């Protein structure tokens, strides 16, 4: 028997799904047919009308289909209604079918249905202060547009569902990506608390230092210019101060002034360290310290990121508005920012759970390299173990430099790095770099075989896949252009590793979320940062949650190497590491 399946799409007066008001809902369950239900602009009446549809949204037998389901679910949730499984998101379906392309409804309608939908711009006008809101329009004006979206969703589903079956993406779609929608939705709704007062004080502090640095830099340069302009800065350094005769240029012809270039000029002129510090502080202030307090939700005072499930071609998540996956941790000045991410109150703390070396464990498992598997099974520090092998010394005798070189190679391997790249990274000669790489592959011979095998298989099949059969097509793998082909070859090696790690943590998140719900915990999962999960943990639940999270994360998949998760609890995100 074919399952009942209904597409829906919500129209709202804004894009903030936690607060936007619903204006109407369209439904479609038959090709070229749809219905629009206008919802009154008043919370109480809206709730009572939407309640008529509660049995539909919360049905455990009817499949709810939407394009970007997480958004619509958040809107519906505002009115006290759940959107229960089974669900089908056409945007995610297309992401699995072809992760490298775009997944917007308009693009997909043109490509798969040869149909150009009425654009939102035609309806409400271009962005700007004259742009109308959905709530400024009559139901008659919205109806066709809304119905069209529900109908397109229906028609896209008819195309994508069989493709999901055919491409062996069923398991990935129904048991991983669709359940994950609900997990991410919950994390976004929770949000994380920040110490905005602390950040505002820090901003003043940084502002003063920056003003002083600006004066000093301009005095050293002898002219007034905009330090924030790479173009002007390049001219000052290389034409005016003549700090280098062979200055590198970018592909657009201006002088390159990136961090690595400036580091090499550090001792040529006192202005360079000043610029490096200025750049760092400017970045921290403008990207994190100043914007974060402004992004606090007015009703709960927390920061609510959005996780994008269909952006990263490897299967990773991405985070935006704001991006909470690139909060500083490496520099001392940056650590202050991470410190300002705190628990929701005095009864709670933050708990961070990190996979240790997950990508290297995955490469060990996928390649079946005995030496690397043994290193992990014996619980050795993988970079030291690698150093011992590559430099042929005892594990106890590995020096800091040797370990750090080995670490660079271990990472380079994941990315398909060349001798040139390693040499640049370590500041050694290309010859030395080549020797290290050769020795590496002698010690881990199966890893070399594995990498060559991935490229070969990509050439034959046109795609590579992860442990959960997530695919990435590599159209350039047979390109005649060596540079272009090189990119595809590195992707052939990297995508299964990065993507399998993404598979593992996604499965873990579903397991953790389910177990936490089942045990009715007060603690909440808040953030995911590729190999890390962050929780607001109630003080009574610390031990319970630690055990639960460690178990779920370490047993998310069964590999020939053990997975290891490190967990710490503290008052802020920095100290939880």
Partner DNA sequence: CCCCTCACG
Partner DNA sequence: ACGTACGTGAGGGGC
The site for DNA (CB under 7 A) is made up of 226, 228-232, 234, 250-252, 254-259, 262, 279-280, 283-284, 286-287, 291, 308, 311-314, 316, 318-323, 325-331, 334, 408, 411-412, 414-418, 420-422, 424-425, 482-483, 486-487, 490-491, 494-495, 498, 529-532
Q: What is the CA radius of gyration of the chain?
A: 27
Q: Which is nearer to DNA, 76 or 437 (CB)?
A: 437
Q: Which is nearer to DNA, 37 or 567 (CB)?
A: 567
CB of 449 to DNA, least distance (A): 20
Q: Which is nearer to DNA, 175 or 229 (CB)?
A: 229
Spatial neighbors of 445 by CB under 8 A, at least 6 apart, are 369
- Using alpha carbons, select from 127, 55, 105, 43 the residue that is nearest to residue 79: 43
CB of 498 to DNA, least distance (A): 6
**Which residues face 33 on adjacent strands?**
30
CB of 141 to DNA, least distance (A): 26
Q: Which is nearer to DNA, 23 or 507 (CB)?
A: 507
Dihedral of the CA atoms 52, 56, 60, 66 (nearest 10)?
-140
| Structure tokens belonging to residue 563 | 């997975």
Q: Which is nearer to DNA, 135 or 244 (CB)?
A: 244
Strands laid side by side in the 22-30 sheet: 33-38, 22-30, 5-12, 63-66, 87-89
CB of 356 to DNA, least distance (A): 11
Contacts by 437-441 with C-beta closer than 8 Å and gap 24+? 437/409, 437/412, 439/389, 439/390, 439/391, 439/392, 440/386, 440/389, 440/390, 440/409, 440/413
Contact 419, 437 (CB under 8 A): yes
Q: Which is nearer to DNA, 284 or 521 (CB)?
A: 284
Element (H, E) at 452: helix 445-461
- Using alpha carbons, select from 94, 128, 125, 126 the residue that is nearest to residue 111: 94
**Which residues face 22 on adjacent strands?**
12
| Structure tokens belonging to residue 41 | 């602009």
Q: Which is nearer to DNA, 79 or 376 (CB)?
A: 376
CB of 224 to DNA, least distance (A): 13
CB of 348 to DNA, least distance (A): 22
CB of 140 to DNA, least distance (A): 31
Q: Which is nearer to DNA, 185 or 316 (CB)?
A: 316
| Structure tokens belonging to residue 570 | 């503290």
CB of 20 to DNA, least distance (A): 18
Dihedral of the CA atoms 130, 132, 138, 141 (nearest 10)?
90
**Which residues face 38 on adjacent strands?**
24
Element (H, E) at 303: strand 302-303
CB of 518 to DNA, least distance (A): 28
Q: Which is nearer to DNA, 37 or 227 (CB)?
A: 227
Q: Which is nearer to DNA, 45 or 228 (CB)?
A: 228
Contact 224, 232 (CB under 8 A): no
Q: Which is nearer to DNA, 40 or 421 (CB)?
A: 421
CB of 456 to DNA, least distance (A): 18
Task: For residues 461 and 459, give the distance between their C-alpha atoms in angstroms, rounded to a whole number.
Answer: 6
The residue behind tokens 């390109």 is 479
CB of 513 to DNA, least distance (A): 19
Contact 502, 325 (CB under 8 A): no
Element (H, E) at 494: helix 482-518
């Amino acid at each position: 028997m074919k399952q009942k399946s209904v597409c829906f799409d919500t129209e709202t007066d804004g894009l903030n799904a936690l607060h936007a008001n619903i204006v109407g809902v369209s439904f479609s369950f038959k090709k070229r047919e749809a219905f629009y239900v206008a919802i009154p602009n008043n919370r109480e009446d809206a709730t009572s009308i939407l309640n008529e549809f509660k049995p539909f949204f919360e049905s455990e037998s009817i499949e709810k289909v939407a394009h970007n389901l997480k958004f619509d679910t958040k809107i519906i949730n505002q009115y006290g209604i759940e959107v229960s499984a089974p669900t089908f998101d056409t945007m995610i379906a297309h992401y699995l079918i072809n992760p490298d392309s775009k997944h917007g409804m308009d693009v997909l309608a043109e490509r798969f249905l040869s149909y150009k939908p009425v654009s939102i711009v035609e309806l409400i006008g271009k962005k700007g202060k004259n742009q109308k809101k959905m709530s400024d329009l009559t139901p008659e004006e919205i109806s066709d547009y809304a119905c069209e979206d529900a109908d397109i969703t229906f028609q896209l589903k008819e195309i994508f569902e069989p493709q999901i079956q055919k491409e062996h993406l069923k398991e990935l779609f129904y048991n991983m990506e669709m359940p994950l929608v609900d997990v991410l939705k919950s994390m976004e709704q929770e949000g994380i608390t920040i110490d905005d007062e602390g950040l505002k004080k820090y901003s003043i502090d940084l502002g003063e230092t920056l003003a002083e640095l600006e004066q000093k830099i301009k005095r050293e340069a002898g002219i007034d210019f905009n330090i924030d302009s790479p173009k002007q800065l390049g001219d000052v350094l290389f034409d005016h101060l003549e700090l280098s005769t062979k200055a590198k240029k970018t592909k657009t012809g201006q002088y390159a002034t990136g961090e690595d270039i400036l580091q090499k000029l550090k001792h040529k002129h006192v202005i360079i360290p000043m610029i490096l510090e200025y750049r760092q502080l400017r970045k921290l202030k403008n990207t994190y310290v100043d914007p974060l307090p402004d992004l606090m939700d007015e009703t709960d005072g927390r920061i609510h990121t959005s996780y994008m499930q269909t952006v990263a071609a490897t299967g990773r998540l991405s985070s935006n508005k704001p991006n909470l996956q690139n909060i500083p941790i490496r520099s001392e000045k940056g650590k202050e920012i991470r410190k300002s991410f705190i628990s929701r109150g005095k009864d709670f703390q933050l708990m961070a759970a990190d996979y240790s070396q997950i990508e290297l464990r995955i490469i060990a498992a996928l390649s079946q390299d005995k030496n690397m598997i043994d290193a992990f099974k014996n619980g050795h520090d993988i970079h030291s173990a690698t150093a011992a092998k590559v430099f042929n010394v005892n594990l106890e005798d590995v020096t800091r430099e040797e370990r750090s070189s080995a670490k660079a190679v271990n990472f380079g391997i994941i990315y398909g790095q060349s001798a040139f790249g390693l040499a640049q990274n370590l500041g050694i000669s290309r010859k030395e770099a080549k020797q290290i790489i050769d020795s590496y592959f002698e010690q881990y011979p199966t890893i070399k075989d594995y990498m060559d095998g991935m490229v070969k298989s990509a050439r034959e099949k046109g795609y590579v896949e992860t442990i959960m059969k997530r695919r990435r097509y590599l159209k350039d793998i047979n390109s005649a252009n060596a540079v272009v082909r090189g990119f595809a070859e590195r992707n052939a090696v990297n995508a299964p590793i990065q993507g399998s790690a993404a598979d593992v943590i996604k499965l873990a998140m579903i397991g953790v979320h389910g177990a936490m719900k089942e045990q009715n915990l007060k603690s909440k999962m808040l953030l995911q940062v590729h190999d890390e999960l962050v929780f607001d943990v109630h003080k009574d639940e610390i031990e319970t949650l630690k055990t639960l999270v460690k178990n779920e994360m370490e047993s998310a998949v069964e590999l020939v190497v053990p997975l290891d998760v490190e967990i710490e609890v503290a008052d802020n995100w920095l100290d939880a590491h």
